[in-house]
Structure 1
């Protein structure tokens, strides 16, 4: 299969997934447990993305570098109820400082 074939297959799968979401009867989505799961899904997906980007290097191996320290500082700032911009700047400054010092 060439590149265009893979693109077409991916497009068909994406379209079918979106279509399936519209075809599901509303009574299947109105349950309390279903609403709880759907409410938690964005947080879980974002956490998985952050973990993947924090712990994997270019070759897919486990890496401990400045990104891990930056996420740790950001989590600490969140626990201290800092404003979002402070969380972002603290994490970025931590990563930049550690990279400037030659780590990560």
Structure 2
């Protein structure tokens, strides 16, 4: 039964991908569609970051990931290079975890 579900999900994913390629270009060039697509991308990324930062299993948690995210956001606000943002967040999480958080 599991394999049938996997095959069905794969077929649905393939059909959705194919449908996206079959959409006429003039529909996608409309400003409203482009703006909506950009906003959906940002919303999905923000939701992914939020879920990965503040959950463990089915529980909300506050651990070293949350301050590390805050440090990364601060570094991005200061327009630091991406490598610096990642290293600062990783160092923050490492220090806090070493301190027992």
Is the shorter-chain TM-score for this pair beyond 0.5, marking a shared fold?
yes
TM-score (ref. length: structure 1): 0.88
Instruction: Say whether residues 1:51 and 2:50 are aligned partners.
Output: yes
1:81 alignment partner, one of 73, 79, 82:
79
Q: Which runs of 5 or more residues in structure 2 are unaligned?
A: none
Match of 2:69 in 1: 71
Q: Which runs of 4+ in 1 moved over 3 A?
A: none
User: Offset of 1:97 from its aligned partner?
Assistant: 0.6
Match of 1:19 in 2: 18
Match of 2:29 in 1: 30
TM-score (ref. length: structure 2): 0.90
Q: Which runs of 5 or more residues in structure 1 are unaligned?
A: none
Match of 2:60 in 1: 62
**Count of equivalent residues:** 101
Partner Cα separation in structure 2 for residue 61 and residue 84 of structure 1: 30
Partner Cα separation in structure 1 for residue 25 and residue 84 of structure 2: 41
Partner Cα separation in structure 2 for residue 28 and residue 79 of structure 1: 35
3-state SS in 2 of match to 1:9:
helix
